[in-house]
């Protein structure tokens, strides 16, 4: 790949991929590109599906779970099952419960979003990758095991 040249008692690394870069300091680092979607540009259908997943997961799962968790935490504090914070009152625990509800809501909607991405048209690389991943991790049921 790179060769070291000796000249004038100085070793330089050949960065022939860049015309004016001839020293090791100016050579770009070698990068290992491992993720298949690292430089991928999403199609309009893929962007639309991802935005719908984001919006629906928020309104259908995050808001209800956050509200329920925060309300339950507030009720537990008011009834004495949980102690209030001496300085901040109910705020830290209710906020933590709401954030936990948000995370649980996002995670609970991921199978629906996965199915939506698998339903993208055949020309979609993201849809193809999601179908391959699903097929590899969810093999069809074996009819002999019934």
Q: What would the pLDDT profile of 16-42 be if each residue is shown by its tens digit?
A: 554 454 555 566 666 665 666 677 788
Q: Tell me the three state secondary structure of residue 10.
A: strand
Which range of residues forms the domain containing residue 89? 44-136
CA distance 85 to 106: 28
Q: Helix, strand, coil shares of the chain as percentages rounded to 5?
A: 55, 5, 35
How many structural domains comprise the chain?
1
**Domain for residue 82, yes or no?**
yes
**Domain for residue 141, yes or no?**
no
**Domain for residue 120, yes or no?**
yes
**Domain for residue 1, yes or no?**
no
Output the pTM of the full model: 0.66
Letter string b/e over residues 49-79, b meaning 16 or more CB atoms within 10 A of that residue's CB: beeebeeebeeebbeebbeebbeebbebbee
**Domain for residue 144, yes or no?**
no
**Domain for residue 66, yes or no?**
yes
**Domain for residue 20, yes or no?**
no
Residues of the chain with pLDDT under 50: 1-7, 9-13, 18-19, 21
**Domain for residue 25, yes or no?**
no
């Amino acid at each position: 790949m790179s060769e070291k040249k000796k000249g004038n008692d100085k070793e330089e690394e050949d960065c022939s991929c860049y015309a004016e870069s001839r020293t090791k300091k100016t050579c770009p680092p070698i990068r290992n590109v491992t993720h298949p979607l690292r430089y991928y540009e999403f199609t309009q259908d893929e962007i639309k599906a991802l935005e719908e997943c984001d919006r629906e997961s928020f309104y259908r799962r995050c808001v209800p779970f956050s509200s329920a968790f925060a309300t339950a935490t507030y009720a537990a504090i008011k009834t004495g099952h949980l102690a209030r914070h001496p300085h901040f009152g109910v705020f830290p625990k209710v906020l933590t419960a709401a954030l936990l509800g948000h995370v649980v809501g996002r995670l609970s909607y991921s199978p629906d979003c996965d199915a939506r991405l698998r339903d993208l048209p055949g020309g979609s690389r993201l849809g193809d990758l999601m179908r391959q991943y699903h097929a590899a991790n969810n093999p069809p049921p074996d009819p002999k095991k019934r």
